[in-house]
Amino acid sequence: MSAAEPVTEALLRRMPLPRHEKGDDKNARGAVLVAGGCVEVPGAVLLAGLAALQAGAGRLQLAVCRSIAVPVGVAMPEARVIGLAETEQGHIAAAAAPVLAQRGARARAMVLGVGTMAGAESEALTAQLLEALEGPALVLDAGALAALRGCRPALRRHAGRAILTPHDGEMAELLEIPRTAVLADPLAAARRRPPASRPWSS
């Protein structure tokens, strides 16, 4: 496991945004698929999509609950919006996994879980995607993180291509330590191995 490195101004200067050469079109700059959100938190997907475009993505797809697909598309007309099967509570249903796996295989990067809540459907969706997905780099956030406890072999398939983005509370839960310990030394928490009781720890 490589050592964690703090995100500083110096680090960001060594990782500039992509330079677009004359004649490049959107296909040359790659595609990003952002899958997440729910009826109560649709804006998180929009923010993640905007960040992807600002970072240089040539094509953007947003995969959201079917009932909010049209307003999301109106809010971000430059994106292709995919309406997914949803639960009665307004969350993406696990049944959407095959569609996301197919779409994700054609993307250079996929963001999963942003704006979603932890729960059985979210965990099942993440687990199925980690098993089926081939190809893209992955960013796992919010509700997708809760599934990792039971997905050790599947997560290892994406070694070197997966980024986890827990906030301090989620990090504390993953490591089984107090939130105050994460806040006191975030870098040490990032370098810490999950406890052996976690099925996905290594």
Q: Answer with the residue of higher pLDDT: 65 or 196.
A: 65
Give, as one character, the DSSP assignment of residue 88: T
Evaluate whether 107 touches 32 at the Cβ level (below 8 Å).
Answer: yes
- Pick from 18-32, 83-97, 155-169: least confident: 18-32
User: E-strand spans in the chain?
Assistant: 31-35, 59-65, 80-84, 109-112, 137-140, 162-164
For residue 201, is pLDDT > 70?
no
Residue 60, amino acid? L
Q: What is the mean pLDDT of residues 107-115?
A: 96
Say how far apart CA 119 and CA 147 lie, in whole Å.
Answer: 9
The whole-angstrom separation of Cα 182 and Cα 127 is 26
* Residue 157: Cβ within 10 Å count: 13
Average pLDDT in the 174-188 region? Answer: 93
Best CA proximity match to 145, nearest among 125, 137, 44, 156: 125
- Percent of the chain, pLDDT > 90? 64
Whether the predicted pLDDT of 197 surpasses 60: no
pLDDT confidence tier of residue 73, bands split at 50, 70 and 90: very high
DSSP state, 92? B
Helix axis angle, 120-132 to 97-104, nearest 10°: 40
Summarize the confidence of residues 145-155 as an average pLDDT. 83
Tokens of 83: 């309406």
Q: Is-contact 93 121, C-beta < 8 A? A: yes
Q: What residues pair up with 111 in beta bridges, in sequence order?
A: 34, 139
What pLDDT shows up at residue 3? 65
Dump pLDDT digits (tens) for 3-61. Answer: 667 888 888 888 776 676 776 777 777 899 999 999 999 999 999 999 999 888 999 99
Q: Does pLDDT of 87 surpass 90?
A: yes
Residue 135 has pLDDT above 70, yes or no: yes
pTM of the model: 0.85
pLDDT at 200: 46
CA distance linking residue 97 with residue 103, whole number of Å: 10
Q: Say how far apart CA 171 and CA 189 lie, in whole Å.
A: 8
Q: What rounded mean pLDDT belongs to the chain? A: 89
Confidence label for 185 from pLDDT (cuts 50, 70 and 90)? very high
Q: Which residues contact 193 (CB under 8 A, 6 or more apart)?
A: 1, 201, 202
Count helices and strands in the chain by DSSP H and E runs = 9, 6
